[in-house]
Amino acid sequence: MAIKKIISYGDETLRKKSKEVSKISKKIQTLVHDLLDTMYAKNGVGLAAPQIGENLRVFVIDVSTNNEPLNPIVFINPKIIKKSGAVNSYEGCLSFPEAYTNVRRYKNVMVKALDIHGKPFVKEATDGCLLARAIQHEFDHLDGILFIDHCRNIEEANKILEEKGLQHVDESRLIQEEELEKEIQENPVELPQDEE
Ligand code: ZN
C-alpha cells in the first residue's frame, strides 16, 4: 500500500486502452489499495489505474463527504449496462491539477463490475448525482478518454488549461454528443458545484 505519483495530462499512458483483469491476484489487490491511498491523499472523488501507471480496468470511487465515514467502492472490469438522460457536469481530474470545466454526462447509469474479492455487483446511480458522473469519468479513463473530450465549450476548456500550464484540448478526440447537448439545453438540471 502506498501513495503513488499521479500521471499528468500529456502522458500517453492516459490515452491507452486498459486491459481486463484476468484474476484478482495479490498484485491487483495491492493496486486497489494504492489507488485508494492515493485518491484519499489527494482528496479526490475517484481514481483509475492508468492514472498511477497501470493500464488495467480498475477504478475506485468514494463520494462520502468530510463528516461521513469513508465509503470506498472498487470497480474491477466494469461494464456500463444502462445509461440515460443528460446533465452538465462541472468536472476536474487529479491528472489535471485545478483545471475544471463543464462537460456532458449521462444523468443515470447502471454499472456491473467485480469487487476486490472478485464478486460481481451492480450499482445504479441516478439524477446526475456525483456517483453517476464519477462512474462515467473513471470508466472513461480505462478507454483512454479524458473529461475534456466531453467539454461543452472548447474556448472555456482551453482557457483554463492554458492558465494551469496544460496542453489545449485535442479537437480530434472530442466526442460527438449532439443528443446529450440537446437534452442538457432542453432539460437543465441544477447540480451543486461545490462537491468536487
Ligand atoms: Zn480523471
Q: Say how many Å lie between the CA of residue 120 and the centre of ligand 1.
A: 24
Q: Say how many Å lie between the CA of residue 178 and the centre of ligand 1.
A: 23
Cell digits of residue 44: 479526490
68-113: pLDDT as tens digits: 999 999 999 999 999 999 999 999 999 999 999 999 999 999 999 9
110-145: pLDDT as tens digits: 999 999 999 999 999 999 999 999 999 999 999 999
Q: Say how many Å lie between the CA of residue 47 and the centre of ligand 1.
A: 6
Q: Say how many Å lie between the CA of residue 141 and the centre of ligand 1.
A: 7
Residue 181 designated active-site: no
* Cα–Cα distance list, 131 to 107, 124, 193 (Å): 10, 9, 14
Sign of CA dihedral 159, 7, 112, 64: negative
The domain limits of the chain are: 12-195
Residue 191 has pLDDT above 80, yes or no: no
48 touches 142 (CB < 8 A): yes
Q: Say how many Å lie between the CA of residue 190 and the centre of ligand 1.
A: 22
Residue 195 has pLDDT above 70, yes or no: no
pLDDT at 36: 98
Q: Say how many Å lie between the CA of residue 95 and the centre of ligand 1.
A: 6
20-42: pLDDT as tens digits: 999 999 999 999 999 999 999 99
13 touches 55 (CB < 8 A): yes
Average pLDDT, the chain: 96
Q: Say how many Å lie between the CA of residue 112 and the centre of ligand 1.
A: 20
* Residue in 91, 138, 183, 196 annotated catalytic: 138
Which helix (H) or strand (E) segment is 81 a member of? strand 73-84
pLDDT at 194: 53
Single pTM value for the model: 0.96
Instruction: Decide which of 3.40.50.410, 3.40.366.30, 2.70.170.10, 3.90.45.10 is the CATH code for 12-195.
Output: 3.90.45.10
Residue 193 has pLDDT above 80, yes or no: no
